[in-house]
């Protein structure tokens, strides 16, 4: 939210009250509470009349994390959804001198100066990492009369900001306005399916705003020397997370918000989808599966998208008998071929679905304030939305999933979850609709994931999810959403995946060759290389089938070669997944995360590390030209191309041309990912 008019003025219609200084403070064993007047500093008791104060509470939920709550009027938060945080309330120290208060948790400390202005200086091992100074903390009234709490941290020279969810815009977030609000906007806009109010700085700190609703960030875009973040309402809670490097920051953040579990080993293989609106039946499915086998292409998962159910009835959780007269028999045939089965679902029930009356009569759907079912036509005609705050609705929804598992379904693609209304809405548990907009996806994916843990066991549970918020990393895997079939969209997908990994999520996938439109054979082969060097790999589309033989004989060869390459790396990928599970560091890593001390890596978003030892630079053009950078792994030794064997000296850029059977896949010196 922008409310300034240049460096000195306020935008028309806005009112801004800045917290001035710290008038008094209370010190408890593990809490520091500060009382700060708005406007002018208080110098005598008479100045305490007829003016508001900002109450600032400083605590620590975990070691190396310092949490601040800014309060105008205290809010009743009992009706607001809240992220589940793993807090252990560590030992802290609070010291007071004539000049300042110092709050310390682990190796992270906050020095709060006494004086005429509010000055917060965060340090890690004595090294400054973040600072909030003059006119940073504010109460803002917008032109509609709504209140917002706003805070600012300095943005230093050379400082760069990463994360904030799966974002398709520039990887470095400096200069961007980012709204944390889940939307179904495809991959070509500033909207995002997976919004996470957490960013990391190359100054080795993270900033987490503990608010499941709308959080607005201005990263050098309101004041170019500051990161501003604001929330609607009377309170804001945020945490500064310290660490010795960005990996440690991620470890501390995910220790608080949750880490990705290990996923089944079969999930690393190739997933093949029917695609979205394509026609298919049992014969089509078996032709695709057998066609892959006949061409020597290993396949792990077959995915049935929407049309396993009848149109206009999504979701009814019933197989379309005109296409699949014997679904149990078909699933058995797929299992006999060594495959797992995934089916598409969403949290919406179309009015034509046989389940609509059942859900409506039992109060299982989100309602309007007058008690009627909340419906609209933006997807399925007259569709309702399952109310996952209602335990009975959760049990009802899960009951249909258990029936599918009993038939032979192994996992679910949890599509949608972003188009959640906030106007004229009433939830079963009375939850505030505004924060529920983002939070809904957490309840949705958890409900589905819990069924798989219950029926398959924790080691076998996995989703293919689109929407997410904080904590969603506990219910993997997520994919990138509706990308287009062109090179710019392929590149924006990679940028999004790298940002997602910088936001605490360990696994990520995307629609190989693009979702929208028809891929050219060239794009199909290049995206196949990229897709099969991602943590998870799936062919999927909208109106086009994605089996490789439809894109030429060479596409079949490329597909086979890169599936085999990924299968040869399976032990390495499983080892990297253990790191992800134990530390929160993603499997697909931005170059800056692995080589933070190399300034060249700070801006790179066209290549990545697959785990700690493999550098991948996808090719984004029809000419087959790759431009990539080779960092120094520490000893000046050359890197080796895993496919061609070519060696590359570190510390420089390369420009090379590749055919469809190779690309820059470089191995860190001294490692062998095929022998772990």
Q: What is the pLDDT of residues 592-644, one digit of tens each?
A: 999 999 999 999 999 999 999 999 999 999 999 999 999 999 889 999 999 99
Quick: pLDDT tens for 141-175. Answer: 999 999 999 999 999 999 999 999 999 999 999 99
The pLDDT of residue 198 is 99
* Catalytic residue (one of 166, 248, 305, 415): 415
- Is pLDDT above 90 for 43? no
Instruction: Please confirm, yes or no, whether 30 is among the known catalytic residues.
Output: no
- DSSP for 626-650 reads EEEEE---SS-PPEEETTT--EE-S
Q: What is the mean pLDDT of residues 558-582?
A: 98
**Domain boundaries, given as residue ranges, for the chain:** 4-257, 287-296+507-583, 301-461, 588-667
Taking the C-alpha atoms of 244, 245, 251 and 257 in order, what is their torsion angle to the nearest 10 degrees? Answer: 100
Instruction: Please confirm, yes or no, whether 602 is among the known catalytic residues.
Output: no
Query: The CATH number of 588-667 is which of 2.30.40.10, 3.40.50.2030, 2.60.40.1180, 2.30.31.20?
Result: 2.60.40.1180
Third-level CATH fold of 301-461: TIM Barrel (3.20.20)
Cα 409 off chain centre by = 26
* Sign of the dihedral defined by the CA atoms of residues 480, 508, 524, 334, in that order: negative
The pLDDT of residue 50 is 84
Give CB contacts under 8 A, 24+ apart, made by 660-664. Answer: 660/525, 660/526, 660/529, 660/554, 660/558, 660/624, 661/557, 661/558, 661/561, 663/526, 663/529, 663/616, 663/617, 663/618, 663/619, 663/626, 664/607, 664/615, 664/616, 664/617, 664/626, 664/628
Query: Which residues pair with residue 103 across a beta bridge?
Result: 94, 110
Q: How many CB atoms lie within 10 A of CB 369?
A: 11
The pLDDT of residue 46 is 82
According to CATH, what is the number of the domain 4-257? 2.60.40.1760
3-state percent breakdown (helix, strand, coil) of the chain, nearest 5? 25, 30, 50
- Is pLDDT above 90 for 42? no
Cα end-to-end span (Å), the chain: 49
- Is pLDDT above 90 for 282? yes
Going across the sheet that includes 537-539, the strands are 463-465, 411-414, 340-345, 301-304, 270-273, 537-539, 511-512
- Cα distance between residue 126 and residue 610, in whole Å: 33
Asked if 451 and 401 touch (Cβ cutoff 8 Å), the reply is yes
- Cα distance between residue 531 and residue 618, in whole Å: 9
- Cα distance between residue 630 and residue 598, in whole Å: 11
Quick: pLDDT tens for 58-113. Answer: 999 999 999 999 999 999 999 999 999 999 999 999 999 999 999 999 999 999 99
Instruction: Please confirm, yes or no, whether 99 is among the known catalytic residues.
Output: no
The pLDDT of residue 544 is 96
- CB within 8 Å of 86: residues ≥ 6 apart: 62, 255, 256, 257, 258
- Cα distance between residue 519 and residue 597, in whole Å: 39
Instruction: Pick 207 or 517 by higher pLDDT.
Output: 207
Nearest to 36 by CA among 17, 51, 55, 58: 55
Q: Report DSSP state, residue 276.
A: S
Nearest to 509 by CA among 297, 243, 300: 300
Asked if 359 and 438 touch (Cβ cutoff 8 Å), the reply is no
Please tell me the least confidently modeled range out of 43-57, 320-334, 416-430, 595-609: 43-57
Cis peptide before 477 (omega within 30 of 0): yes
- Cα distance between residue 441 and residue 447, in whole Å: 10
Which parts of 163-281 fold into alpha helices (H)? 246-257
- CB within 8 Å of 113: residues ≥ 6 apart: 99, 100, 119, 121
Indicate the average pLDDT of the chain: 97
Q: What is the mean pLDDT of residues 338-343?
A: 98
Nearest to 531 by CA among 167, 276, 272, 191: 272
Q: What is the mean pLDDT of residues 28-49?
A: 90
Residue 51 banded pLDDT, cuts 50, 70, 90: confident
3-state secondary structure 42-105: CCCHHHHCCCCEEEEEEECCCCCEEEEEEECCCCCCCCCCCCCCCCCCCCEEEEECCCEEEEEE
- Is pLDDT above 90 for 47? no
| Same-fold call for 4-257 versus 301-461 | no
- Cα distance between residue 103 and residue 90, in whole Å: 12
- DSSP for 205-229 reads EEEEE--SS-EEEEESSSSTTEEEE
The pLDDT of residue 154 is 98
* Catalytic residue (one of 210, 248, 418, 432): 418
* Catalytic residue (one of 166, 184, 482, 561): 482
Quick: pLDDT tens for 501-555. Answer: 999 999 999 999 999 999 999 999 999 999 999 999 999 999 999 999 999 999 9
- Is pLDDT above 90 for 48? no
Beta strands in 477-536 (DSSP E): 511-512
Taking the C-alpha atoms of 635, 641, 644 and 648 in order, what is their torsion angle to the nearest 10 degrees? Answer: -50
């Amino acid at each position: 939210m922008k409310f300034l008019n240049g460096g000195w003025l306020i935008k028309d219609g806005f009112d801004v009250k800045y917290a001035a200084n710290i008038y008094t403070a209370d010190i408890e064993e593990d809490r520091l509470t500060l009382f700060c007047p708005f406007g002018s500093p208080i110098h005598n008791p008479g100045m305490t009349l007829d003016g508001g104060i900002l109450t600032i509470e400083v605590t620590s939920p975990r070691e190396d994390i310092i949490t601040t709550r800014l309060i105008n009027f205290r809010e009743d938060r009992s009706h607001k959804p809240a992220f589940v945080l793993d807090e252990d309330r560590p030992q802290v120290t609070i010291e007071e001198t004539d000049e300042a208060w110092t709050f310390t948790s682990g190796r992270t400390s906050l020095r709060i100066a006494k004086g005429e202005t509010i000055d917060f200086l965060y340090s890690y091992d004595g090294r400054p990492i973040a600072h909030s100074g003059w006119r940073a903390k504010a109460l803002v009234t917008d032109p509609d009369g709504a209140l917002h709490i706003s805070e600012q941290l300095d943005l230093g020279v050379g400082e760069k900001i990463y994360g904030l969810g799966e974002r398709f815009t520039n990887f470095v977030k400096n200069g961007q306005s980012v709204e944390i609000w889940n939307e179904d906007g495809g991959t070509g806009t500033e909207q995002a399916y997976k919004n996470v109010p957490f960013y990391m700085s190359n100054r080795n700190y993270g900033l987490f705003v503990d608010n499941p609703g709308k959080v607005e960030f201005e990263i050098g875009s309101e004041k170019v020397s500051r990161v501003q973040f604001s929330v609607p309402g009377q309170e804001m809670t945020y945490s500064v997370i310290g660490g010795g490097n960005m990996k440690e920051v991620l470890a501390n953040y995910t220790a608080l918000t949750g880490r990705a579990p290990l996923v089944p080993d079969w999930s690393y293989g190739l997933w093949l989808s029917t695609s979205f609106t394509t026609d298919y039946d049992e014969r089509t499915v078996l032709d695709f599966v057998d066609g892959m086998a006949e061409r020597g292409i290993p396949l792990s998962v077959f995915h049935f998208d929407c049309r396993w159910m009848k149109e206009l009835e999504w979701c009814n959780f019933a197989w379309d008998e005109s296409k699949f007269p014997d679904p149990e028999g078909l699933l058995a045939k797929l299992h006999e071929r060594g495959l797992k089965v995934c089916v598409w679902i969403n949290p919406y029930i179309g009015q034509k679905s046989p389940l609509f009356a059942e859900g409506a009569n039992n109060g299982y759907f989100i309602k309007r304030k007058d008690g009627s079912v909340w419906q609209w036509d933006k997807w399925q005609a007259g569709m309702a939305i399952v109310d996952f705050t209602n335990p009975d609705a959760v049990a009802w929804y899960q009951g249909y999933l258990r029936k599918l598992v009993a038939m032979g379904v192994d996992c679910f693609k949890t599509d949608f979850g972003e188009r959640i209304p906030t106007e004229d809405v009433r939830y079963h548990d009375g939850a505030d609709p505004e924060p529920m907009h983002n939070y809904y996806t957490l309840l949705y994916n958890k409900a589905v994931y819990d069924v798989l843990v219950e029926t398959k066991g924790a080691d076998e549970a996995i989703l293919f999810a689109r929407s997410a918020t904080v904590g969603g990393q506990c219910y993997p895997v997520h994919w990138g959403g509706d990308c287009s079939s062109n090179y710019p969209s392929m590149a924006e997908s990679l940028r999004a995946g790298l940002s997602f990994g910088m936001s605490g999520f360990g696994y990520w996938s995307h629609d190989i060759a693009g979702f929208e439109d028809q891929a050219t054979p060239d794009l199909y082969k290049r995206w196949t290389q990229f897709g099969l060097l991602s943590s998870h790999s799936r062919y999927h589309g909208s109106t086009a089938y994605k089996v490789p033989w439809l894109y030429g004989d060479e596409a079949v060869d490329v597909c086979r070669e890169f599936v085999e390459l990924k299968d040869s790396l399976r032990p390495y990928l499983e080892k990297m997944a253990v790191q992800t599970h134990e530390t929160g560091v993603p499997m697909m890593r931005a170059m800056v995360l692995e080589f933070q001390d190399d300034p060249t890596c700070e801006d790179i978003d066209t290549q990545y590390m697959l785990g700690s030892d493999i550098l991948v630079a996808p090719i984004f053009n029809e000419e087959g030209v790759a431009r990539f950078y080779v960092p120094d792994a520490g000893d000046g030794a050359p890197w080796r191309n895993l496919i061609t064997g070519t060696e590359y000296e570190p510390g420089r850029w390369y420009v090379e041309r590749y055919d469809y059977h190779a690309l820059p896949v470089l191995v860190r010196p001294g490692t062998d990912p095929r022998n772990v």
